[in-house]
Amino acid sequence: MSASQAGMPATQTMKALSALASAAGRGFVEFADVEKSYDGRTFAVTRMNLVVARGEFLTLLGPSGSGKTTTLNMLAGFERPTHGTITLEGQPVDRLPPYQRNIGMVFQNYALFPHMTVEENVGFPLSVRQVSKADIASRVARALDMVRLRQFGDRRPTQLSGGQQQRVALARALVFQPSLVLMDEPLGALDKKLREHMQLEIKQLHMMLGVTIVYVTHDQSEALTMSDRVAVFNHGAIAQLGSPDDLYKAPQSSFVASFIGENNTLDGVVDRVSGDQCRVRLNGGGELIALAIGVTQGAACHVAIRPERLNLTPASAGDNALSATVDGRIYLGDHLRLLARLANDQVLTVKVGPEATMANEETVTVSCAPNDCRAFPADAETGGAIPKQGKAA
Amino acid sequence: MSALQPSEVDRPALARGRSAAADADRKSVSAALRRAEFGDRLRSLLLAAPLLVLLALSFGIPIVLLLSRAVYDPTIADALPRTAAALSGWNGQGLPADDAFTALASDLKDDQVKGTAYELAKSLNARLPGARSQVLKTVRKLGDDSGQPPLEIMKSVPFWSAPSTWPAIQNGTRSFTSFYLLSALDLRWNTDGGIERVPPEQAIFVQVFLRTFLVAAAVTLATLILGFPLAYLIANLPKGPAAVLIVAVLLPFWTSILVRTAAWTVLLQKFGLVNDLLLWVGVASDRLDLMYSRMGLIIAMTHIQLPFTLLPIYSVMRTIQPSQMKAAYSLGARPFTAFRRIYLPQVFPGVMAGCLLTFILCLGYYITPALIGGASDQLISNFIANYVNVELNWEMAAALSFILLVFTLALFGIFARILGLDRLKLV
Whether the predicted pLDDT of B421 surpasses 70: no
Report yes or no: A377 and A335 within 8 Å, Cβ to Cβ.
no
Res. A137: pLDDT tops 90: yes
Using an 8 Å CB-CB cutoff, list chain B residues near A125. 331-333
Closest CA to A302 of A343, A258, A247: A258
pLDDT score for B21: 66
CB contact under 8 A, A105 and B330: yes
Q: Is pLDDT of B212 > 90?
A: yes
Give the C-alpha separation, A70 to B279, whole Å.
51
**What number of other Cβ atoms are within 10 A of residue A48's Cβ?**
27
d(CA B193, CA B210): 28
How many angstroms separate the CA of residue B361 from the nearest CA in chain A?
A: 29
Closest partner residue to B327 among A97, A101, A105, by Cβ?
A: A105
Contact list, B329 vs chain A (CB under 8 Å): 77-78, 97-99
- Topology of B205-423 in CATH? MetI-like fold (1.10.3720)
Given a cut of 50, is residue B4 above it in pLDDT?
no
Contact B378/B208 with Cβ under 8 angstroms?
yes
Contact between A190 and A163 (Cβ < 8 Å):
yes
Angle formed by the axes of helices B165-172 and B117-127, nearest 10° = 110
Nearest chain A residue to B323, by CA: A111
Higher pLDDT, B16 or B34: B34
CB-based contact A109 B337, cutoff 8 Å = no
Contact across the interface for B324 and A105, Cβ inside 8 Å: no
Structure confidence by residue, pLDDT tens digits, B102-138: 888 888 888 888 888 888 888 888 888 888 898 888 8
**The domain at A266-379 falls in which architecture?**
Beta Barrel (2.40)
Q: How far apart are CA B227 and CA B216, in angstroms?
A: 16
Fold of A11-254: Rossmann fold (3.40.50)
Q: In this model, does residue A15 exceed pLDDT 80?
A: no
Total H helices, total E strands in chain B: 21, 2
The more confident residue out of A12 and A161 is: A161
User: Nearest Cβ partner of B332 from A112, A125, A182?
Assistant: A125
What gap in Å lies between CA A41 and CA A35, rounded to an integer? 12
**Pure H helices in B268-377:** 273-281, 294-318, 322-330, 335-338, 344-363, 367-372
User: How far is A106 from A97, CA to CA, in rounded Å?
Assistant: 18
**Cβ distance of A113 and B324 shorter than 8 Å:** yes
Domain extent listing, chain A: 11-254, 266-379
| Residue B338 with chain A: CB contacts under 8 Å | 99
CA angle B170, B175, B181 (to 5 degrees): 90
pLDDT digits (tens, 9 = 90+) for B230-243: 999 999 999 999 99
Contacts 24+ apart (CB under 8 A), B248-255: B249/B306, B249/B307, B249/B310, B249/B311, B250/B307, B252/B303, B252/B304, B252/B307, B253/B307
pTM: 0.76
For range B246-270, the mean pLDDT: 89
Range A327-341 average pLDDT = 88
Q: How far apart are CA A349 and CA B343, in angstroms?
A: 53
Asked if B332 and A128 come within 8 Å (Cβ–Cβ), the reply is yes
pLDDT, one tens digit per residue, over B79-98 is 888 888 888 888 878 888 88
Nearest-Cα residue of chain B relative to residue A102: B332
| Sequence spans of domains, chain B | 6-68, 75-177, 205-423
Does position A12 have pLDDT exceeding 70, yes or no?
Answer: no
Chain A residues inside the 8 Å CB shell of B331 = 99, 104-105, 124-125, 128, 172-173, 176
User: How far apart, in Å, are the Cα atoms of B24 and each of A40, A281, B21, B29, B31?
Assistant: 76, 82, 5, 8, 10
pLDDT winner (highest mean) among A104-113, A280-289, B85-94: A104-113
Q: A with B: how many residue pairs have Cβ under 8 Å apart?
A: 66
The nearest CA of chain A is from the CA of B58 a distance in Å of 42
Q: What is the reported pLDDT for A7?
A: 41
Contact (CB<8Å) B331/A103: no
Residue A151 in this model has a pLDDT that exceeds 70: yes
Q: If you average pLDDT over every residue of chain B, what do you get?
A: 86
Burial class (CB in 10 A: 0-12, 13-18, 19+), B175: middle
Look at residue B144 and tell me whether its pLDDT is greater than 60.
yes
- H helices then E strands: how many in chain A? 10, 20
Q: Is the ipTM of this complex over 0.85?
A: no
Burial of A370 (C-beta count, 10 Å sphere; 0-12/13-18/19+): middle
The string of pLDDT tens digits covering residues B188-206 is: 887 777 888 888 888 889 9
Task: Count the Cβ atoms, other than its own, within 10 Å of residue B45.
Answer: 10
At residue B19, the pLDDT reads 65
- Best of A78, A179, A182, A185 to substitute, by most chain B Cβ atoms within 10 angstroms, is A78
Q: Of A334, A322, A330, A365, which is closest to residue A349 (Cα–Cα)?
A: A330
pLDDT at B12 (0 to 100)? 53
Percentage above 70 pLDDT, chain B: 93
DSSP notation for A190-255: S-HHHHHHHHHHHHHHHHHH--EEEEEES-HHHHHHH-SEEEEEETTEEEEEE-HHHHHH--SSHH
Chain A residues in contact with B335 (beta carbon < 8 A)? 99
Q: How many CB atoms lie within 10 A of CB B257?
A: 15
Per the model's pLDDT, the better-predicted residue between A237 and A378 turns out to be A237
Q: Which residue has the higher pLDDT, B18 or B249?
A: B249
Distance to chain A for B201, nearest Cα, Å:
53
Percent of chain A with pLDDT over 70: 88
